[in-house]
Amino acid sequence: MIIMHDIIKTYITGQVTFQALRGINLHIKKGEFVAIVGPSGSGKSTLMNIAGCLDIPTRGSYLLDGKQVSAFNSNQLAEIRNKKVGFVFQAFNLLPYATAYENVEVPLLFAGVNRRKRKERITRLLGQVGLAEKAANKPTEMSGGEMQRVAIARALANEPDIILADEPTGNLDSKSGQQIVNIFHELWKMGKTVLIITHDSNIAGRVERIIQLKDGQIENSHSPAAV
């Protein structure tokens, strides 16, 4: 599903040049559950942004479902993000004055889904993450764990094949974090491809594969049992 070959990402700020990724070669199969780990500055978020078509590589090849997305323009990348990839972030990124229902509805509105289908899907997704009774609540009326579950429901709104999560338990207590880990595990068992950046050992211990980054390169790739 995800095939990267010799991916290089260079950022230039004024007279300063920084190479965030230095020749990444990566193959993630459909339905795989993968954690990307590594110290700050190792290139984890840059790799996630390229995988999710939020950014493009400076050099290299990125095939997503057989399509060379590294050559796509901004409109084509936006279409991929809307239809194929669901994002979950550490900071939740919910609309603060919108209800849980309305937050999950946003990507469906952009996708042009009709009102009846939107209601059916939002109700199902909020129920799936255990928040059916919180549909009318705003983020200020929810705990961190509940907000992250709304964010997961929103990520699933357009039924993407791939879920990308950047430190999804980073702002949560251990109990809420465990609930989020369980949801990702269930999504993987349902056939989703799940790729998570994490420092959370609870997540890293339950994935199929751990990819260790260091200084913009893949240091190793192994199963949790091999740690």
Q: Is 14 left (phi over 0), alpha (psi -120 to 50) or beta?
A: left
pLDDT of residue 57: 93
Provide the angle, in degrees to the nearest 10, between the axes of the packed helices 100-110 and 115-128.
130
Q: Please compute the mean of the pLDDT values over residues 173-184 and round it to a whole number.
A: 92
The CATH number linked to 6 is 3.40.50.300
174, part of any domain:
yes
Which residues make Cβ contacts (< 8 Å) with residue 78, sequence separation at least 6? Answer: none
Dump pLDDT digits (tens) for 29-65.
999 999 999 998 899 999 999 999 999 999 999 999 8
How many domains does the structure of the chain reveal?
1
Q: What's the rounded mean pLDDT across residues 89-114?
A: 94
**How many CA atoms lie within 13 Å of 20's alpha carbon, on the beta-carbon side?**
20
Domain annotation covers residue 187: yes
Query: Taking a C-beta distance cutoff of 8 angstroms, is the pair 47, 37 a contact?
Result: no
Q: 0.75 cut: is pTM over it? A: yes
Q: Is residue 202 part of a domain?
A: yes
Report, as an integer, the average pLDDT of 77-84. 88
Per DSSP, the residues of 28-82 read: E-TT-EEEEE--TTSSHHHHHHHHTTSS--SEEEEEETTEEGGG--HHHHHHHHH
Residue 170 lies in a domain: yes
User: Which residue segment(s) compose the domain that 170 sits in?
Assistant: 2-94+160-226
**Tally of CB atoms within 10 A around 82:** 16
Beta bridge partners of 166: 89, 197
| β-sheet bridge partners, residue 16 | 13
pLDDT at 130 over 90: yes
In a domain, 19, yes or no: yes
